[in-house]
Structure 1
Amino acid sequence: MRLPESQLAVLEAASATESISVDRLADNTGLKPETVTRAAFDLRDDGLVSIDETVQTSAEITAEATEYLEDGLPEVRLYRAAIDAGADTEPVQMGQLIGASGLAGPQVNIALSNFARKGYGSIDSGAVSADPDADPDTDPEHNALAGLADGETVADEDILAQLERRDLIVRSEQTVRSVTLTDDAVTALMEGIEVAETVDRLTPEMLTSGEWDDVEFTEYNVAADAPSIEGGRKHILRQTADRVKDVLVGMGFKEMEGPHADADFWINDCLFMPQDHPARTHWDRFALDVPPIQSVPEDLVERVEDAHRNGVGEDGDGYHSPWSRGFAEAIALRGHTTSLSMRYLSGYAGADIEPPKRYFSVEKVYRNDTLDPTHLLEFFQIEGWVMAEDLSVRDLMGTFEEFYAQFGITDIQFKPHYNPYTEPSFELFGTHPTTGELVEIGNSGMFRAEVLEPLGIECDVMAWGLALERLLMLMYGFEDIRDVHGTLCDLELLRETEVLY
């Protein structure tokens, strides 16, 4: 019998009386585990070995668990503080114990939710009573974490499941394969096996020399396991952004571009946003400590300031609020990409603005928002505007219906809204495919005269800012945008999510 060298090495290292794992065979033969696995499957197909497969589950503690091993589980710290405060004889107010235990933030809720569950005591009307017979030194969850940290195995499935629910461990499964020689293999080894020269590809040199007739070609087992290789791919959010661009270009729009950090003049003043508006304070705005922009067009600054102070037209009325040239020139990260619209509509970006015109951008914006499932500190906005004669809200609503229909979204709802820069204005809502809840997906309206007249625009302009991430949620059913990007991003989810067109 003739066998490839790797198969013969596996046969000689395996045993007929003992099942030997692939990793041990790899160590004994000096071959890679994947080479041993491939050889073992080929030998099994020839009836020379049998392969047993078992699934082993392993658990690793998380960073949070490591912290608890050093400082103690939150419920244990609460119990010890309760004992020290005499809560084993008379209830003690929870606030006093929280401070004494040093718990803060999410750890407080974690301690409260696990305190009674573990029998450390009870909580009634904000007062804590501790069980004097409880023994935190034998806390099974703490001991299990300590054992896992030392490389030990924890057999109690209930404890492991509880630790996993608390995000204190991460469990993974691994298939372990073991090889045993068959009687045919023992017979073949006793009779002697020769090493066959094998090659895994046919080369031009083999054909011209005739060597191909003297070698044995390796058989390929397409059913054998192979190492998983995750190549790079375009992020699903970027794929959706590209799709949005294709749709808008197909609808006759041209793309805008411009700076992420810009003068407040372009970001807000041109939009008839008063300088004392709450959205222009540090609560919503990322100001940059850099020199102000000096290149804003002087004549446009004067017209915008006049609109703020006095309004436009015979019946116009301004804000009668402070207006500072220095504030207008100060640099901030743009809170919306409407700053690009202002640059283009003013002609300052060099664009041809003779009507009719359609422009869009899909760019990142920055806001000092509170993080939650639908809000991030930075996100992508789908900016767009159409300039033409005799536009109406009906044209704007029809544009949205046509745009969202390209993504399979046909249930758009509109709600009247107030914006300082558009009138009339309305918000857009779509139905989340999983929760059934209405999700705000954008804001829009017709630019006011106070915006258009200083820019020199004499026709109608309808405009909007739509959230790319919210569109993604409606397309794919994501309930938390942090699952898609950021520190909580689920890479497996991104790898497995099918691209929608």
Structure 2
Amino acid sequence: MQLPHAQAAVIQTVSADEAQPVDALARATDLPVETVTGAVFELEEQALVAVTERVEESIELTDEGVAYADGDLPEVTLYRAALDAGADDEPVSMGQVIGSSGLEGAQVDIALSNYARKGYGVIDSGEITADLDADPDADSEATALETLAAGDGDATDATDIDDDTIEQLERRGLLERSESTVREATLTDEGVTVLMEGIEESQTVGQVTPELLTSGEWEDAEFSAYNVEADAERIEGGKVHILRQTANRVKDVLVGMGFQEMEGPHADADFWINDCLFMPQDHPARTHWDRFALENPTHIDDLPEDLVERVERAHREGVGDDGEGYHSPWDEDFARALALRGHTTSLSARYLSGTEIGELEPPQRYFSVEKVYRNDTLDPTHLLEFFQIEGWVMADDLSVRDLMGTFEEFYAQFGITDIEFKPHYNPYTEPSFELFGTHPTTGELVEIGNSGLFREEMLEPLGVECDVMAWGLALERLLMLMYGFEDIRDIHGTLCDLELLRETEVTY
């Protein structure tokens, strides 16, 4: 019987007594696995080989998982540092404990996000406590990492590890699970008969070449058959992150509503971030617990002197006949201090003051979709850095109805029509209100933004003589309402779920 080279090699190698995996046949024949797979299927169609399939799961620790298996998980390191600092007796400064722990960069975020979850203690308002009854030596995740590291990633070593622990380690990016189809081939009785009668290799052509065409040999050539059912290698191609896709779509929507985009520094003076917004310098949100100050450089050199004077006067004395100001300390050196912006309203202050692109005459509409930074406690709806959709409209005789109508029009572009409003207080807007949307999966109300009409105490120093309505919306919260995500840490950050992002269908 004549067979193509690959089929002939496989049938002469496969056993009639023992099932052999395709990859073993590939090694024995010195042929690519894909070629052997195709040959096995073709021999099966001729009833010369029987093929069986089974699914195998493999577990492999990531580089980060291997490192933690050899040492300690970040939350365990933080717990031991907290104990050394006496946090089992009374709360201790979180900065002090983190400094003594030796944790740096992303490990700090990882430790903080898992510390309370595992019952090691409580983190609140910049202080940390340690539960003396906690036992880091019995940490199920640490034990699982050690077991898997010792077993060199064999899935059979995970049989004694509960599924919740495996899933948590996978969410943290410390291990990767994969399934593969194992195909095994066995020579049939008919195959044995054919093999005993003798096998000859037929000369087949697997690829059409220019030489084959120009010589005319293609007319007499025997072409190899292609098995379109054979497995192909899965390649994960790169694509734009879903958060960036949504940000770009938000920009398109706002441009379509007549807005222009603002740009500005991520690290800025407190003057632009807070003072221009009529935020008192002794406001709790301006302490080192809530802001990320810069170590080098620490202060900005250039600020408009006349604007600084007007802003200081508004803080000290107020604006208008009935204005009183805050009667609280105001220090220009503090106003010049540099920090990562906690909101993109610093861009609004720069543009409204005329220092960024010159004086603006109403009507005007501006927006930005940029990253902001806050020293928040990590949870399913809060990150240390996230994207804010900033926007404002400058015009005469604006009202809350104009603001609410703008939101209804904007969110309707994303299929969200159940926006709810709640009165709120902001130092720089009056009236003010928060926005809420209903989560499509949990049915809970999710805060998605803050808004209002800028106060006279903010606008008068900036030289604005008409109304300005403004808002700051959370891009990640919009994503939660659009796609049903319940934890924004799945979307980006150290615990990002790549498989979730690959499989999520884009919503239009």
Q: Deviations over 1:117-153 (max 9, x none)?
A: xxxxxxxxx999xxxxxxx9xx9x9799759824677
- Which one is further off, 179-188 or 480-489? 179-188
* More off after superposition, 324-333 vs 208-217: 208-217
Equivalent pairs, count: 449
Residue 59 of structure 1 deviates from its aligned partner by 4.8
Please list, as runs of the form range in 1=range in 2, the aligned pairs for 1:389-468 lying within 5 A after superposition.
389-468=396-475
Residues 35-82 of structure 1: per-residue CA shift (max 9 Å, x gap):
2212222222333322111223445579889978999xxxxxxxxxxx
Counterpart of 1:315 in structure 2 is 322
The answer for the alignment partner of 2:490 in structure 1 is: 483
Structure 2: stretches of 5+ with no match in the other structure = 73-87, 90-110, 121-130
* One-letter amino acid of the structure 1 residue matched with residue 262 of structure 2: M
Q: Does residue 85 of structure 2 align to residue 49 of structure 1?
A: no
Q: Which residue of 2 aligns with 1:115?
A: none
Q: Deviation of residue 437 (structure 1)?
A: 0.8
The answer to whether the 8 Å contact 2:273/2:342 transfers is yes
In structure 2, C-alpha distance between the alignment counterparts of 1:408 and 1:447, rounded to whole Å: 29
- When normalised by structure 2's length, the TM-score is 0.80
1:224 aligns with 2:234: no
Which residue matches 2:385? 378
The aligned amino acid for 2:495 is L
User: Greater shift after overlay, 233-242 or 319-328?
Assistant: 319-328
> Any conservation in 1 of the 2:144–2:161 contact (CA below 8 Å)?
no
Whether the 8 Å contact between 2:3 and 2:199 is mirrored in structure 1 is no
CA positional deviation for 1:164: 3.9
**For the Cα contact (< 8 Å) 2:69–2:145, is it kept in 1?**
no
Q: CA 1:187–1:352 in 2, change beyond 3 Å: closer, same or farther?
A: farther
Q: What's the offset of the Cα at 1:493?
A: 0.5
Judge conservation of contact 1:164–1:171 (CA < 8 Å) in 2: no
- Which has the larger Rg? 1
Shift of 1:315: 1.6
Q: What does residue 374 of structure 2 align with?
A: 367
Counterpart position of 2:362: 355
Deviates more, 1:350-359 or 1:409-418: 350-359
Distance 2:180 2:323 in 1: 73
Counterpart of 1:241 (choices 231, 247, 257) is 247
Whichever residue aligns with residue 149 of structure 1, its letter is: A
Query: How far did residue 161 of structure 1 move?
Result: 4.7
Q: Which residue in the other structure is 2:215 paired with?
A: 209
User: What does residue 150 of structure 2 align with?
Assistant: 149
* Cα drift, residue 324 of structure 1: 1.4
Change in Cα spacing, 1:17 to 1:436, as seen in structure 2 (3 Å) is: same
- Partners of 2:158 and 2:314 in 1: CA distance: 72
- Structure 1 residue 280 corresponds to structure 2 residue 303: no
Residue 87 (structure 1) aligns with: none
SS in 1 for 2:436: strand
Distance in 1 of aligned mates of 2:201 and 2:38: 19
2:203 to 196, 199, 206: 196
Amino acid at match of 1:17: D
- Within the candidate set 477, 491, 502, 1:470 is matched to 477
- Partners of 1:161 and 1:383 lie apart in 2 by 42
- CA distance in structure 2 between the partners assigned to 1:243 and 1:174 by the alignment: 37
450-459 vs 59-68, which deviates more?
59-68
Assess, with a 3 A threshold, how the Cα gap between structure 1 residues 165 and 448 changes in structure 2: closer, same or farther: closer
* C-alpha distance in 2 between matches for 1:299 and 1:450: 16
SS at the partner of 1:179?
strand
Q: Distance in 2 between matches of 1:159 and 1:469?
A: 34
**Which amino acid is 1:32 matched to?**
P
| One-letter code aligned to 1:267 | I
Offset from partner CA, 1:373-416 (integer Å, 9 cap, x none):
00000000000001111110000000000000111111100000
Q: Distance in 2 between matches of 1:300 and 1:38?
A: 76
* SS across alignment from 2:382: coil
In structure 1, give the amino acid aligned to 2:23. Answer: D
Provide the rounded CA distance (Å) in 1 between the counterparts of 2:41 and 2:222: 18
Give the secondary-structure state (helix, strand or coil) at the position aligned to 1:305: helix
Matched, 1:498 2:500: no
Q: Deviations over 1:458-500 (max 9, x none)?
A: 1111000000000001111111110111121111100000000
> Residue type of the partner of 1:35?
T
Partner of 1:299: 306
Unaligned runs of 5+ in 1: 72-94, 97-103, 113-125, 129-135
Counterpart of 1:417, as a letter, is: H
1:250 paired with 2:220, answer no
TM-superposed CA distance for 1:241, in Å, is 0.5
After superposition, where does 1:149-168 map in structure 2 within 5 Å? 149-150=150-151, 154=156, 161=163, 164=166, 167=169
Residue 9 of structure 1 aligns to a residue in which SS? helix
Task: Answer whether contact 2:294 2:339 (CA < 8 A) is retained.
Answer: yes
Secondary structure of 1:13 counterpart: coil
Do the aligned partners of residues 220 and 332 (structure 1) sit closer, same or farther apart at CA in structure 2, a change above 3 Å counting? Answer: same
Give the drift of 1:354: 1.3
Partner SS state of residue 418, structure 1: strand
Judged with a 3 Å threshold, the aligned counterparts in structure 2 of structure 1 residues 161 and 387 are, in CA distance, closer, same or farther, namely closer
Give the whole-Å Cα distance in 2 for the aligned partners of 1:293 and 1:68: 45
**Deviates further, 456-465 or 165-174:** 165-174
Partner of 1:16: 16
How far off is 1:181 after superposition?
A: 2.0
> What fraction of aligned residue pairs are identical, expressed as a percent?
68
Which secondary structure does the structure 2 equivalent of 1:53 belong to? strand
Structure 1 range deviating more: 467-476 or 340-349? 340-349
- Aligned 8 A contact 1:61 1:149 in 2: no
CA displacement, residues 74-117 of structure 1 (integer Å, 9 cap, x when unaligned): xxxxxxxxxxxxxxxxxxxxx99xxxxxxx997998699xxxxx
Shift of the alpha carbon at 1:439? Answer: 0.6
Does the CA contact (< 8 Å) of 1:144 and 1:159 recur in 2?
A: no
Task: Give the secondary-structure state (helix, strand or coil) at the position aligned to 2:12.
Answer: helix
1:500–1:209 CA distance, 2 compared to 1 (3 A): same
TM-score, with structure 1 as normaliser: 0.81
| Conserved 8 A contact 1:388-1:460 | yes
Q: Distance in 2 between matches of 1:239 and 1:339?
A: 25
Label 1:146 to 1:256 Cα distance change in 2 as closer, same or farther (>3 A). Answer: closer
**Residues 204 and 33 (structure 1 numbering): CA distance in 2 closer, same or farther, change over 3 Å?**
closer
SS of structure 2 residue aligned to 1:332: strand
**CA separation of 1:496/1:351 partners in 2, compared to 1, >3 Å: closer, same or farther?**
farther
Does the 8 A contact of 1:164 with 1:170 survive in 2? no
Aligned mate of 2:192, from 162, 171, 186: 186
Counterparts in 2 of 1:472 and 1:324: CA distance versus 1, 3 Å: same
- CA distance 1:144–1:338, shift in 2 (3 Å): closer
On the 8 A contact 2:66/2:149 being kept in 1, the answer is no
Equivalent residue letter for 1:9 = A
Cα offset, 1:296, TM superposition: 1.6
| 3-state secondary structure, aligned to 2:351 | helix
